[in-house]
Structure 1
Amino acid sequence: MAGIVHIFYAGRRGYRQRVHTERPKPLQQYTTEELYNRFRFGLDYINYIAGLVRPQLQCRTLRSHALTVEEQFLIALRFYACGTFYEVIADSMGVHRTTVGEVVTAVSDALARLLDHFVTFPTDGQIAKVKQNFFLLGDMPNTIGVIDCTHVNIQAPRQREWEYVNRKGRHSINVQLVGDADLAITNCVVRWPGSVHDARIFRESRLFTEFQTNRPDGVILADSAYPLLPWVMTPFPTANTPSQMRYNNAYGRTRCAIERLNGVLKRRFACLSESGTPRSMPNNTGLYCATQYRCPSQSPPL
């Protein structure tokens, strides 16, 4: 009887059986080179990182045609690599636009939890090697890092919007990065609106507090926006002597590592670049989670 009633009412309501479309399988369809071109990682790295985030992304059941961890990770990587609209990512990955937004947020949050495991400042046993690499790069002795800030554009937040307008008139997050000669990020601060000056971000950072108390075995190279400290070296505004000219030349050749780091990072992950991010990244996107950024209502007071 219940079945007859169900058929009767289903017919009146125009009931249609739910159909799940066949999703693409990039890991089986593409070679390692093709995967890198589309997702910025090869097969081995995709499997490795997917294994790291599996505890946070694994669905308990396969009900409603649930996404696997690999599928979720590939959707997020596709957005990181393209930085385009969610609708475009959804069409290429065989899912709905809202699913892309949810997956990007979840994957970004899972990756943010791994930040401290991979972004670490050189230890005492590693500093000698870091100094050697910097010296080979630009003849600058005793260098353990290079520092600079870069802006990651966002859409205008709903709260305290004016705080995120940078000097170019765009809404952004001002990201501080410290890197080594191999373009590896050794420290990052991602919590300040775009209007905040680089020097203040540095002064308020945990790195500054720690190194002011315990001076490191080496120096960090910074541009003229940063203060000159016993462990922070800046260039001479005007080189008046041959020794000052030699210093500025070695400084420029060495510090260019952080410029290349910012360029490679934004080129590899287009969602961070200036061209696509403001138009394609909605408010509260997973990029905030990926960089451990606090939502606009909790941003640091100016």
Structure 2
Amino acid sequence: MAEEQRQYRIRRPRNFRPRLDIFNVYNDSEFRKRYRLDQQGFLYVTELIREVIANRTERSHAVTPEMKVALTLRYFATGKMQLCNADDFGLSQPTISRAISQTVDALTAPHIITRFIDFPTNPMEIQRIQADFYRIAGFPGVVGAIDGTHVKIVAPHDYEEVYVNRKNVHSINVQVVFDANFILRDLVAQWPGSVHDSRILRESGLWDGFEQNQIPAGCYMLGDSGYPCKRWLLTPYLRPAEREYQEAFNRAHKKTRSVVERGIGQLKRRFHVLHDEIRVNPQKASKIIMACGILHNICKQRNIPLDDDENEEDVDDPNVEEVFQPVPGGPVADGALFRENVARNHFMMDD
């Protein structure tokens, strides 16, 4: 009887929904609004990872590399994975989830990261970046502005308590360094929200690069008072003495360092997934953050604008600074002396 049932069983045909042709449906402005890249930028990203995300078989209705990139960009732009399906992509939710994971993995391969997020070491590039920073407020030698920003995540199953930040929200504390043109020069997205900015820096390759003189002398980063003051990392005076050059130093420091706050704002407004709670485990969330950073730099390199005001500061992560507490006997005193030397030489007014 079972054999007879198998013989007469009629297989239901699969019902494939029509898929949206995004290149012909949207004009340039609508396309950029939905996917954050223009059409040429979209094709550039697709070609960058095509071989990795292409299906190995050519079965009917396989998800194309273009579709996988479109799904991922739409998710990054909205922060809502279900909107990918609502936009008539004609795919099931599990298929969408797999396509996004595959694309994110491809975008965060080590060779892609180092290609698009790279701290300057070439002397000519360093001089150009320093000149760009100098034009902001006359602060010499700056090659980057550093800060931490929190990206909210759903409470993880493992080590849940270490992801709770000082606002009692689960997050990943992301270290970012921007240059004067709002290009990301460093991005570390692997630390739980409870970890202090200064520890993230101390454990990063950036710290080793400066401490081991891989980055030339005379190059400074600017950070807030949550970081240690060092010969290569200048922080503001907490209590400026009655000396005009210290006040002038602080003014120039604040104006120049605002680049990182504005850069964070641009990054999070371009990819709203970074504003919302990312509902995946911390490891996947870290990859999503890194992928957004890479795509942000691609947009900058290709002059793809934001639709809103790029000068708006990061309202999601207000600047509530924690003062760095030096370890007794540490090198902070040397950094403070060096800062004083920079302030005297460059910000002291002639009598």
What TM-score do you get using the length of structure 2 for normalisation?
0.77
| TM-score, structure 1 as length reference | 0.89
What are structure 1's unaligned runs of at least 5 residues?
A: 294-302
How far apart, CA to CA, are the structure 2 residues paired with 1:38 and 1:167?
33
Deviations 1:151-191 (A, max 9, x none): 11111111010010011111111110111000000111111
Question: What's 2:262 paired with?
Answer: 260
Superposition pairs for residues 135-284 of structure 1, below 5 Å?
135-214=134-213, 216=216, 217-240=218-241, 241-273=243-275, 276-278=276-278, 281-283=279-281
Task: Indicate how the Cα distance of structure 1 residues 283 and 64 shifts in structure 2: closer, same or farther if over 3 A, else same.
Answer: farther
Q: Which has the higher contact order (CA 8 A, sep 6+)?
A: 1
Give the Cα separation in 1 of the matches to 2:177 and 2:284.
23
Query: How much does 1:72 deviate?
Result: 0.5
Deviation at 1:32, TM superposition (A): 1.7
Cα deviations by residue, 1:104-136 (Å, 9 ceiling, x for unpaired): 111111110111111011122201110110011
Structure 2 counterpart of 1:76, from 69, 72, 77 = 72
| Matched residue type, 2:251 | N
Give the aligned residue type for 1:236: Y
Distance in 1, Cα, partners of 2:63 & 2:158: 34
Q: Which 10-residue stretch deviates more, 55-64 or 152-161?
A: 55-64
| Partner amino acid, structure 1, of 2:138 | D
Alignment of 1:103-114 (within 5 A): 103-113=99-109, 114=112
Residue 55 in structure 1 maps to residue 51 in structure 2: yes
1:125 equivalent to 2:115? Answer: no
Partners of 1:202 and 1:285 lie apart in 2 by 19
C-alpha separation in 1, matches of 2:116 and 2:248: 35
Answer whether contact 2:173 2:189 (CA < 8 A) is retained.
yes
CA distance in 2 between counterparts of 1:51 and 1:5 reads 48
SS in 2 for 1:166: coil
Aligned-pair CA distance for 1:282: 3.1
Which residue type is aligned with residue 189 of structure 1?
V
**Residue equivalent to 2:25:** 29
> C-alpha distance in 2, partners of 1:234/1:78?
38
Shift in Å at residue 292 of structure 1? 5.9
**2 CA distance for matches of 1:78 and 1:286?**
17
Deviation string 1:27-77 (CA, Å, 9 cap, x unpaired) is: 221122111011100000000010001011011222141111011000000
Q: Which residue of 2 aligns with 1:94?
A: 90
Closer, same or farther in 2 for the Cα pair 1:45/1:29, shift >3 Å? same
Question: Are 2:153 and 2:282, in contact at CA under 8 Å, matched by a contact in 1?
Answer: no
Distance in 1 separating the partners of 2:16 and 2:125: 52
Sequence identity, in percent?
35
Aligned residues: 282
- The answer to whether the aligner puts 1:43 opposite 2:43 as a matched pair is no
- Give the distance between the partners of 1:292 and 1:243, measured in 2 at CA: 39
Does the CA-based 8 Å contact 2:75-2:83 persist in structure 1? no
Q: CA contact under 8 A between 1:270 and 1:277: conserved in structure 2?
A: no
- Deviating above 6 A after TM superposition, structure 1's stretches of 4 or more consecutive aligned residues are none
Two-structure CA RMSD over aligned residues (Å): 1.9
Structure 2 residue matching 1:277: 3-state secondary structure: coil
Verify the 8 A CA contact 1:148 1:222 in the aligned structure 2: yes
> Measured at CA, do residues 225 and 162 of structure 1 come closer, stay the same or move farther in structure 2, by a change above 3 Å?
same
Contact 2:190–2:286 (CA under 8 A) maintained in structure 1:
no
